Structure formats: structure tokens, C-alpha cells
Amino acid sequence: MNYQPLAAAVVAVCGVVGLIIQARRSRHVMDDVKRDLEVLALLPEESEQRADLQTLIEGAVERYIADQRDMTRDLSGVAFAVFLAAASAFLWWLPVTNGGYWWWSAVVAAPFSLLGVVGFFESIVPARRDSKGNKIKAVEDDVAVG
């Protein structure tokens, strides 16, 4: 059997996953704080904006510390998603190697693949969670910006 198309597909999927992870990565809060501290150091001592900027910096650091303490990953969700992904890989492997009526396993493999990938990325992201691992939605998320 020629595994070259399969290898190309694996490389393509890994590339797409890498792009998705890179796109979801946000700037780090501490980079913003560092930039603000540099601006604060450049401001003259008698500047009216100095106190406001220092308050802004302290608030950002305080929120960062609170987020680091409260944010968790849903490890049971990650484990289940990895299990689904492994099961889907097996269910895709069956028809590729055996052919014939084994292609019916793709009916189960497709949703397993989708749920495994979506569940992994939903569970691996640090967020505030309740005791069941469900994300807690902040009130600020409901407020319309505008």
C-alpha cells in the first residue's frame, strides 16, 4: 500500500492545527504591562497621567494574578477527547487497510473525529470552570461593546 498520500494528509492536518493554535494565541498581558512600564519610566515626574498609568498597570497585574489562580483546564475533557480521537483514528484505519464493507466504520469515525478535535480544543484552553469542568461565563461577556 502507498502511504505517501496518508503521510501528506497527516502533515497537512498538523499544519492546519498549528495555524489554528497560533491564531488563537493572544498577546500576553505581561507584554502590555512591560510596555506600559517603559512608558511610565519615560513620563516626567510631574505628569498628570503618571498616576493614571500606574493605576492601570497595577490593575492589569492584579487581574493577571487572579486569572492565573482561577483559570484551569478540563483534564477529564482532554482525556475523553484524546480517547475519541484515538478511536476515530482506529475506525479510519480499518477501511483504509481492509476496504470493502469496512467503509461503514466511517459513519462512526467522522463524528468521533469531529467531537475529539473540538472537545480537545474546548477543554485544553484555560478558563474559569465550575466543579463539573464547565466554563463559567463572565457577566462582562454579555455586555455589548459599542
pTM check: above 0.85: no
> What average pLDDT does the chain have?
80
- Identify the residue whose cell numbers are 463539573: 132
CA distance 43 to 141: 34
Higher pLDDT, 78 or 127: 78
Work out the percent of the chain whose per-residue pLDDT is above 70.
82
- Identify the residue whose cell numbers are 513620563: 43
* 41 pLDDT more than 90: no
For residue 66, give the C-alpha cell. Answer: 487572579
**What was the pLDDT predicted at 88?**
93
* 146 pLDDT more than 60: no
The pair phi, psi for residue 127, each rounded to 5°, is -155, 165
Which of the four pLDDT bands, split at 50, 70 and 90, describes residue 87?
very high
Chain CA centroid to CA 94, Å: 30
**What was the pLDDT predicted at 53?**
85
With contact defined as beta carbons under 8 Å apart, do 29 and 36 qualify? no
With contact defined as beta carbons under 8 Å apart, do 130 and 74 qualify? no
* 111 pLDDT more than 90: yes
**What was the pLDDT predicted at 113?**
93
**What was the pLDDT predicted at 82?**
92
* 115 pLDDT more than 80: yes
